[in-house]
Structure 1
Amino acid sequence: MIPVLMSSGDLIADRRADYAEALLPGDPAAAADLYAQALELAPTWTAGWYRLGDIRAKFDLPDADQAFEAALATDPTDRLGASLRLDMLRERSMTDAMPPAFVEALFDQYAPRFETALVEGLAYCGPQLMAEQIQAPIGAALDLGCGTGLMGEALRPLCTTLTGWDISTEMLRAAEVKGIYDHLDKRDLNRLSPPQERWQVITAADVFIYLGALEKIIGWVALALESGGQFVFTVEEHTGPEAYVLRDTCRYAHSAHALQDLLDQAGFDSRITRAVLREDRGAPVWALVVNAVKRGPAPSAEQTDVGHAGIPA
């Protein structure tokens, strides 16, 4: 995500940034120097620091990490995702989830063109693959990270009541227009309170590419599902030894073996299948379609170690 370069608040700094962008195609080093000069005048300009880091990283110039660190220091909520760029530069994941402010801003911007880009442009078929895993008919279903309602459209014929949660206000507005959800609410999946309801099916379509560590959300779902309920979700496939990695696409990918272990520990019997979820730059994106069935009675909060923050520790 390259930020919209909002004004720094300093006219001279803005002009130097404009000159830097004009120089960039022919002389990236000079462009980076001009950005650095602009930031001497506007040292709290988060978008400027991010852009400087982006230029340095793209053209193999030194000190890209320092620029991203400055962007993060000037905006600890990390709306631009500087921490993710640092992870990619250092080739190791220090963050276990994408910053909520970054995800919210990304999808608020993306909402108007989301379905056209994903379905028509990238041949996305995740909801259809997931719906095939669900044993219908069902009563109450919860669609985590519901977005504009692509998964909801596949779920609606299968369930009696359908609830959708998403972090993006604009995505929720688009979903509401479709009229397929009985309830819609703005929720951050990193900060869910202990569930007050029980669902027969919980889905998460292409949501966990924005979460690295899945222990907390899997523990929460174990509390929220009825005994015998289904948790159906997709992740991008990672075949290395790590449980998950942050790819250069700025998406997390997960290992099937690590997922199987997590789900088993949380009390699920799971079946994981490989499938092509969509395309990326003309190449197939291999994913894992996970169908996890909750064993036995729903566990108590104490059994899943739900702490004061309302999510499993």
Structure 2
Amino acid sequence: MMHHDTSSGDLNADRRLSYAEAMLAGGDPVAAAEIMADAMLLAPDWVAGWVRYGEMAEAAGLHEAARAAYEAALGRDPADRFGASLHLMYLTDCPVTDTAPAAHMQALFDQYAPRFEASLVDALGYCAPTLLAAYLEGHLGRALDLGCGTGLMGGAIKGRFDHLTGYDISTGMLEQARRKGIYDMLEQHDLNALPAVVPQYDLVVTADVLIYFGALEQIIEWSASALVSGGRLALTVEKTTGRDFRLQKSRRFAHSEDYIRRLLSVAGLNALRLEHTSYRKEQGADVPTMLVIAQKP
């Protein structure tokens, strides 16, 4: 879906978008795509419009039109604020990217932050922080929450740590976390470009974050290097089989158990626990997920 702040600047193009959305909601994606194609003739540099046209064309089964639309968006916005590369990768099943674009994630979650918890916890039954907290035994010492979001993980382990730092790419999410008063330090970071680190944490936890990354070598290696001896890494992923990772229709990545175990071994971490479970729903159905606890010798 489109961000709310993405007018084309052309009133007629915006009206066509509204008509197209109505057609799509009414169950006629072909008509929606046709109307949106006309809108793009009026506003050819409208990046968000190209992405929405691609989504409508994809829903209509017009895959070549969808592909061309996503490519048009990406060509006009290489930073990829609207995630065209993810759409293109799912549509073609070709390795366009191995992570969600940073600009897309920042824009998406800045917009999503005020309603994030209601949408995720109340509507989708999200409980990853609660499950991870239950699996993490004992006192947690110095902890780092990677992709802390609004602070749900911090709330789940409140009172069990000596110091808690949170990293997130979204300033909107960090502001929500700050209001909880749980974290000792909150910093904005792109988890694909984390700063050099020395061993200092007893726990690195990343809950429902790695779903936005395909290749996990870098982030797991970094997490291992941030842990002191005996420190633990706790993470969650959505589950797939047959390949290391796969971009799903949801535009979230899923990872295989073999891949996770291999990365932990390469990073010098011992897997303590790997649970196949479900910590969220999608369209009323349980999403297959894994919760992992590993330890640095």
Say whether the fold is shared (TM-score over 0.5).
Answer: yes
Residue type of the alignment partner of 2:41: E
Report matched runs for 1:40-189 at 5 Å: 40-61=41-62, 62-189=64-191
Residue 17 of structure 1, CA deviation? 3.7
User: Per the alignment, in what secondary structure is the counterpart of residue 203 of structure 1?
Assistant: strand
Q: Which runs of 5+ in 2 are unaligned?
A: none
Aligned-pair distance for 1:101?
A: 1.1
Taking a change above 3 Å as real, the CA distance of residues 201 and 40 of structure 1, as seen in their structure-2 partners, is: same
After superposing the two structures, state which structure 1 stretch, 117-126 or 265-274, moved more: 117-126
Task: Give the whole-Å Cα distance in 2 for the aligned partners of 1:72 and 1:210.
Answer: 18
1:100: how far off? Answer: 0.8
Contact 2:247 2:254 in 1 (8 A): yes
Counterpart in the other structure of 1:10: 10
Residues 69-88 of structure 1 deviation map (CA, whole Å, 9 limit, x = unaligned): 10111111111111111111
- Residues 33 and 276 of structure 1: CA distance in aligned 2, closer, same or farther (over 3 Å): closer
Counterpart-to-counterpart distance in 2, 1:284 and 1:26: 26
Report the Cα distance in structure 2 between the residues aligned to 1:23 and 1:251, rounded to whole angstroms. 27
Measured after TM superposition, the shift of residue 23 of structure 1 is: 5.0
Unmatched segments (≥5 aa) in structure 1: 296-313
Alpha-carbon distance in structure 2 between the residues aligned to 1:93 and 1:122: 29
Corresponding residue number in structure 2 for 1:309: none
Aligned residues: 294
For residues 39 and 267 of structure 1, do their structure 2 counterparts lie closer, same or farther at Cα, with a shift above 3 Å needed?
Answer: same
Q: Which runs of 4+ in 1 moved over 6 A?
A: none
CA distance in 2, matches of 1:21, 1:207: 30
Q: Give the TM-score of the pair, scaled to structure 1.
A: 0.88
**Deviation of the 1:15 alpha carbon:** 4.0
TM-score calculated relative to the size of structure 2: 0.93
C-alpha root-mean-square deviation of aligned residues, in Å? 1.8
Q: 1:5 and 1:157 mapped to 2: Cα distance? A: 39
Per-residue deviation, 1:112? 1.3
Q: Which amino acid aligns with 2:260?
A: L
Pair 1:20–1:287, CA change in 2 (3 A):
closer
Identity among equivalent positions (%) equals: 49
Q: Distance in 1 between matches of 2:119 and 2:158?
A: 23
Once the 2 structures are TM-superposed, how far is the Cα of residue 258 of structure 1 from its aligned partner? 1.0
Distance 1:163 1:8, change over 3 A: same
Amino acid at match of 1:204: T
* Match in the other structure for 1:258: 259
Which residue identity does 1:57 align to in structure 2?
Answer: E
